[in-house]
Structures are given as C-alpha cells and as structure tokens.
Amino acid sequence: MAYIPHTPDDIAGMLAVIGARSIDELFDEIPADLRAGTLNVPAPMSEMEIARLMAERAAIDGRPLNFIGAGAYEHHIPAPVWAIATRGEFYSAYTPYQAEASQGTLQLIYEYQSMMCALTGMEVSNASLYDGASALAEACLMAVRSNRGSSSRRILMPRAVNPTYTLVAQAIAGNQDISFVPVDFDRTSGRTLLETLKPYGGQDFTALVVQQPNFFGSMEEVDELTDWAHANKIMLIAVVNPTSLALLKPPGQWGALVDGAQGADIVCGEGQALGVPLSSGGPYFGFMATRMHYVRQMPGRIVGRTVDLEGRPGFSLTLQAREQHIRRSKATSNICTNQGLMVTAATIYMTLLGPAGLAAVAQASMQRTADLVAALTKVPGVKRAFTAPHFHEAVLILDRAPAAVLAALSRKGILGGLDLSERYPELGHALLVCATETKLGADIDAYAAALAEAMNAARAA
C-alpha cells in the first residue's frame, strides 16, 4: 500500500486547525437518524496477518483455465505496465483541468489518442468512455446528432453484435427516442449478409452498426457492408477489438473511397484487452474515434498539443463536451468519463509491445483458437457452428445442453466458454469459446480431455 491512514495525532491536529472538538462535531449537520451505526470492523491486523488473509481469500477463487471471451479477454500483461501505472503521479491523478500542473498526464492521454487513431485508421480519438457497451450507446447518440440527412433516429443493429452491448445501447439511447432495428445473421457463415440488409435500402436509417470480429468471432464482410451503408446515406458505426486491429484492416479503410472519404464514420469498442486484467467485471474503458468532420459531436474530452508563449511544446484539454463545463443542457453527453488509470495502463501496454508485439499477440491468439477448435471438434458430439473465418473466438455446437457440460468442466478447474442457449436459442446447444496467447498446447489438451470425459459421462447418464 502506497499510503497509511491518518494517525490519531494527525486527526487531532486537523480538528484543532478547523476548530472542531471531534469528528462527530465536524459532521453534526447530518441528522442522527441518517448516520451509520457502529461499524462491524474487525480488529487491526499486522502486515504478515493481512498478507496471509488475502492469500487465503485469493486461493478460494482458484486459478482456473479460462476459455471464456465474449468481450473480456485474458491476455498477458507485462510487469512494467502496472508497476508504472500505479506510480503516484498516475495512480492518484484526476482530470487534468490545470494544464500547468498536469503535463505528464496530458501527454500520456495525447499519446493514447495518437495510438488509437493509428490502430483504427481514424483522424481523431477521445480520451475514453466508461466501457465498450456504453461507448456503442454514445456512438449511436453521436450518429443521430451527426447524420443531418436522416430524421428517423433508427439504427440498424445486427444480432451478431455483442448482445450485452445491444442491451446497453437500448437502455441508454432507447430512452432518448432512438429505435434499434434488428438485422439477422446467416446461420451457415455466422455473418451479417448484404442480402439481409438489401430490404432496408432506400429507407431512412441513421446508422448501421458492424462488429468486427462479431460476437461469434466471425469475420464480417466489412467492405461491402460499409459501401452499402454509405450508398444509402447511412452512417457506419464500427465496433472493434483493438487487438485484432494489429492484423486486420482498420475501420478507417473499410469500403471504397468516395468523395475523398473512406471507412467507418465512428469507431468504438472495449479497451480492456490492452493491458487491463480480468478483475471481477472491471473497471474497463471504452474507446471512440471518428473523422475530423464529426469531432464536435464526439462525447468526452480531447487532449491537444500546442505551444506556450515562449514556443515550448505543451498539452492541454482542447475539446470538453462534458456536463461540468457550464452548458449542461447542451453537452453532447452527460454520462461519459475518462477512465484515466485504465487508459494509462493501455498506453504503457501499447508502448511496450509496439506494432510488432501487438501483431504477435493477435497472431498467437488466432492460432491458439484454431488449435482449440481443432482439438475440441475431435470430441464426439462437438462440431463448429459457422463456416466464416474467425479471430480468437468461435462457436461450437454440442449434442447436449452446454450447462451441465460447463458445470462438469468447472469442477475440473476449467471455465469452458459461454453458453449461448439463452441468447441465441435458434442455434441449439451453442457454446462460445475463446483462446488467447496465454493458452499453451497443454492447456488445450487438458480442455479437450476434460470435455471428452464430460460428454461421455453425460452420454452414459
């Protein structure tokens, strides 16, 4: 721990300066019936005792082999990432409103924005949002503000988009008179087909959402989807996995060059894969990038590089569309934030790996998933669901309900994937699996052996 609590002498000294005789007197304006009662706080423990207690509690969780993806991914995080991110200069810093006192934080965010623009092929990036799901909701709201040629406030939302993202977008944007029209996926390839979109051609839609890779891990035909959207005067919102962008065409280059413009109009996604550990559901951070033409409709804040009166380079907040900045009712968003610590970790992670290192992570993850699918589909009663190429996730079809199989795997210390039966009942006994560079050949063999045993036991029963 990088700090210690105030001692009784510290507290007494501060109370004396304030002029209060006790903590209770300091907060005497709080009605007695609203105050907490006696807290059931355990007795103090020594450092050795605390370390042992925390080790015991960590052991309760165990160290299972994790083959679940679905938007949260287990990647190797080099030790320097959090050794640097947890330095006091970063760890305790808040929003860098005072540029003269926050040059280090501002420069880091500027470098982050530059890296995200390089990854996505877009012209401008903001300084992050809450998470990937709310970033998509914000992208939908931004599209409504930006697409002046549309008055429908209707968004085409493929069912191959992460269903959690869809629910969050509906909860946030749906309550602002934006409607989402579902677009089905092809049962053979696991993609959103152009033929499925054609009936919507010529109608008034504000935007089309395309996730690449999609929730099933399948690669979408992004060029033809982008061209179709733009031909119909529909903005294209891309939801992307940043690790995949080390190998795949960036969304800023999707589709044909038309009138000097090319690619997606808004790009968003979840940045957790860039150096943020899986930690009981968060915190994560969302990213967003766009074309310069739409920059003033983008939520959040942007750090810019400038020079001072003496010509020395420096950094400052340039665009701040948040609720604190005077015109609350005219803010582009009142829920966005800067997940500063997560962005710090992601910037350090990308800096350490560089383009070649990030590509190596992506390539290794693809190969591990290919190996995983090959091993698991050798088990009787297991087959691939879709034919489209995939990144580091794939859907398998079992000949029995996944729930019991996953429970059996869990007892062996294996988190075998995500049961899709509830989200996509039409697929039958579908299981989404994922592997990243953290999985070894022995891990995949262990999963395959445990799955075969679980399937045989269920068959015998």
pLDDT at 1: 45
pLDDT at 337 over 70: no
Report percent pLDDT > 70 for the chain: 95
* Cβ-proximal residues to 55 (8 Å cutoff; 6+ apart), any chain: none
How does pLDDT run across 374-430, given as a tens digit for each residue?
Answer: 999 999 999 999 999 999 999 999 999 999 999 999 999 999 999 999 999 999 999
Of the candidates 303, 302, 285, 300, the residue with the CA atom closest to the CA atom of residue 344: 285
Which architecture does CATH list for 65-77+355-460?
Alpha-Beta Complex (3.90)
At residue 161, the 3 state secondary structure works out as coil
Q: What is the pTM of this model?
A: 0.89
Where is pLDDT greater, at 334 or 312? 312
N-term to C-term CA, the chain: 52
Tell the residue number behind the tokens 């996944």, with chain if given.
402
Query: Domain 79-348 has what CATH class?
Result: alpha beta
pLDDT at 323: 47
* pLDDT (average), residues 229-238: 97
Where is pLDDT greater, at 325 or 13? 13
* pLDDT (average), residues 59-73: 93
* pLDDT (average), residues 108-116: 96
Indicate the pLDDT class of residue 3, thresholds 50, 70 and 90. low
Could you state, in order of their start, the residue ranges of all structural domains in the chain? Answer: 65-77+355-460, 79-348
* pLDDT (average), residues 185-193: 98
The total of other beta-carbon atoms located within 10 Å of residue 62's CB is: 8
- Kindly give the residue spans of alpha helices, DSSP state H, lying in 377-440: 402-411
How does pLDDT run across 18-65, given as a tens digit for each residue?
Answer: 999 998 899 899 998 888 777 888 888 999 999 999 999 989 888 899
* Cβ-proximal residues to 153 (8 Å cutoff; 6+ apart), any chain: 144, 177, 178, 179, 206
Token pair in block for residue 334:
């009142």
| Sequential DSSP letters for 261-281 | B-S-SEEEEE-TTTT----TT
* Cβ-proximal residues to 99 (8 Å cutoff; 6+ apart), any chain: 106, 314, 315, 316, 317
Cα distance between residue 123 and residue 239, in whole Å? 16
pLDDT at 301: 84
